Chain A
Amino acid sequence: MALLVVDNLSVGYQGQKGYLQALEGISFSLEAGKSLGFVGESGCGKTTLGMAVMRLMPSNGFIRNGRIIFDGEDLLEKTDEEMRRIRWQKIAMIFQSAMNALNPVHRVCNQIVEAIVTHSPLIDKKEAYEQVRDLFQLVGLPENRIRDYPHQYSGGMKQRAIIAMALACNPQLIIADEPTTALDVIVQDQILDEIKNIQTELNISVIYISHDISIVADVCHHIGVMYAGQLVEYGAREEVFNNPMHPYTRALLSSYPTLTGEKSHLMPIPGEAPNLINPPSGCRFSDRCAEARETCRRNHSVWLELAPTHKVLCHQCGKNCGQ
């Protein structure tokens, strides 16, 4: 059975100007030990998705519809107290290092010990400290920096510390939200390797959120492409990367340079993402899509299954686009 099944999830934020539909009808599943990446531009809802799975919505956020079934149980039915116990213990999160994710006035080791002790109250502080040392070794951080404060770490070190902290309670699932965004490419590469190793060694499922499809394709078994709050394409990494079906996915891929192959022009995607307070009734990508038709603009898109693991939310695919 899949570790995580998200079924028709809709999430929104109540703002002064109206209700913003951040996510609509998101459905996917994730097996234990596998990794799934969500790609999309800013505002597409990928961070909201991560937050929703952990039920960390802010006070003006609402999960309207759907189910989040983790390890056989619907997380949306859990009480706050139950959810609190699940967080970090079963599902952990890795934040961007550029964020102030670590409390500046507490030592790094203490913050990790806190995570351990909260979920295993019987554990001795000394033992927890030993675990922290092991974690540091695992993520490649020097042991003599354990008792430092966060501001003394470099960006890459902070990211590793955040990873170490996420692993502290041996979670089954880790949600990584743009973990390498603020780092330079060399450190980015190291961190990605780190995550891949951890994933295979410890058999942890990973949901990887990024705006960078090349990273996601490197790390994840499956890729989900998001646009304007909807999942528009979903499939195994080879399928999506080598045979993108949705016009948005294709546009996304062609807006990245490649090191090999013919030199071609980079194609930015014209236009802007739609206003999610009043989303268009038809396909949300239609006004930026080169292949849009009348049906696209008028009718809600439906899922088209191109292969057992590859599906696309588009009117046109299967008929006209690609092969």
Chain B
Amino acid sequence: MTTADTGIELSERLQWMNRLIEGWSIYKKNLLGKIGIILLVLFALMALCSFIPPLLDPMYQPMAGVDPEISTATGPSTRHWLGTDFMGRDILSQLLTGARIAFMVGVSAAFMSVFLGTAIGMIAGYVGKFMDTLLMRLADMIMVMPALLVLLMLAALFGQLSIWFIVFFIALFRWPGVSRVIRAQTLSLKHRPFIEAAKVAGASNLRIIFRHIMPNVLPLSFLYMTFQVTSAIIIEAALAFLGFGDPGTVSWGMMLQWVWKTGHMFRAPYWLLPPGICISLITLSFYMLGRAMDEVLDPRLRKEGETD
């Protein structure tokens, strides 16, 4: 590691920490952000608690639970706090499992798409020319396609899709949005003095991209992750709703599919309402989180008078 590198690294790291601290103090003041975080913590708790009911009694298994006494849809009771579905399975444990699946799908797909999008965006922005045009044309093409419908076609061709296949493809469809933003950021960073310094010190392109540009675009990537999580959750839920989800996973979308397909939507509000409310609320909370973070990252969005 050259001296230029170390010097740059140290100052960058300090800058990073400063920004993190400053960011948190701004974030704290935002009401939406606070509500968002509270809701997300609640959902996370739900996800964690999903393991509890089956341990209490096997009849609480979300997929395979068989209640010896109930085998139809029933309303909330002391045994089943949210009632049972058409096969007598406990709705609450399905709901809790759904939270776990939502986080899993959302975070994995978001992480993958942001990873891809950041890498591609940085490369396109930094290397430029042919590579840039090629990658951005590819991004344009992918952005035009409706992810849900393409996944449907894939379901038609490849049969039942597994949950990881779904996650992977969602990421494949969502990276273009991220890459555009990262590319723009990279373009503006490309000509900054510290990059010039690294070039003069002899750093290779790859090194510059990953050592110097990446730390500066990561906050933006992180911000976009929140938006990506919501779209991933929605796509998976819609897919499951239509009946093309992974039949082995109980997601909220899957629950809605069951209510709908078994004709219970008019007579079982205890079954119809919770999954939909959960999907909508988790989307809302990630969105609020994202907006609050947006304010942290973009000084122009802060309330007037808070600047100094």
Contact = CB atoms under 8 A, between A and B. Distances in A.
Nearest to B303: A16
A15 B304 CA distance: 9
Nearest to A14: B305
A15 B306 CA distance: 10
Contacts of A15: 305
A16 B308 CA distance: 9
Nearest to A16: B305
A281 to B, nearest CB: 26
Nearest to A15: B305
Q: How big is the A interface, by class?
A: under 10
A155 to B, nearest CB: 26
Contacts, number: 5
A16 B304 CA distance: 8
A16 B306 CA distance: 7
A201 to B, nearest CB: 44
A298 B306 CA distance: 34
Contacts of A16: 304-307
B302 to A, nearest CB: 11
Contacts of B306: 16
Interface string B283-308: 00000000000000000000011110
A118 to B, nearest CB: 31
A15 B307 CA distance: 11
A16 B307 CA distance: 9
A66 B47 CA distance: 67
Interface string A1-44: 00000000000000110000000000000000000000000000
Nearest to B304: A16
A97 B164 CA distance: 58
B292 to A, nearest CB: 20
Interface in A214-245: none
A20 to B, nearest CB: 13
Contacts of B307: 16
B305 to A, nearest CB: 3
Interface string A174-187: 00000000000000
Contacts of B305: 15-16
A313 to B, nearest CB: 33
A16 B302 CA distance: 13
A15 B308 CA distance: 11
Interface string B236-266: 0000000000000000000000000000000
A82 to B, nearest CB: 30
B264 to A, nearest CB: 53
Contacts of B304: 16
Interface string B181-197: 00000000000000000
A321 B205 CA distance: 64
B74 to A, nearest CB: 59
Interface in B3-46: none
Interface string A299-320: 0000000000000000000000
A17 to B, nearest CB: 8
A148 B257 CA distance: 58
A60 to B, nearest CB: 9
B57 to A, nearest CB: 59
A319 B75 CA distance: 98
A112 to B, nearest CB: 33
B282 to A, nearest CB: 36
A50 B306 CA distance: 28
A19 to B, nearest CB: 13
Interface string B106-134: 00000000000000000000000000000
Nearest to B307: A16
Nearest to B306: A16
A18 to B, nearest CB: 11
A15 B305 CA distance: 7
B304 to A, nearest CB: 8
Interface of B: 304-307
Interface of A: 15-16
5 contacts: A15-B305, A16-B304, A16-B305, A16-B306, A16-B307
Instruction: For the complex of A and B, list the 5 residue pairs with the smallest distance between their C-beta atoms, beginning with the closest.
Output: A16-B305, A15-B305, A16-B306, A16-B304, A16-B307
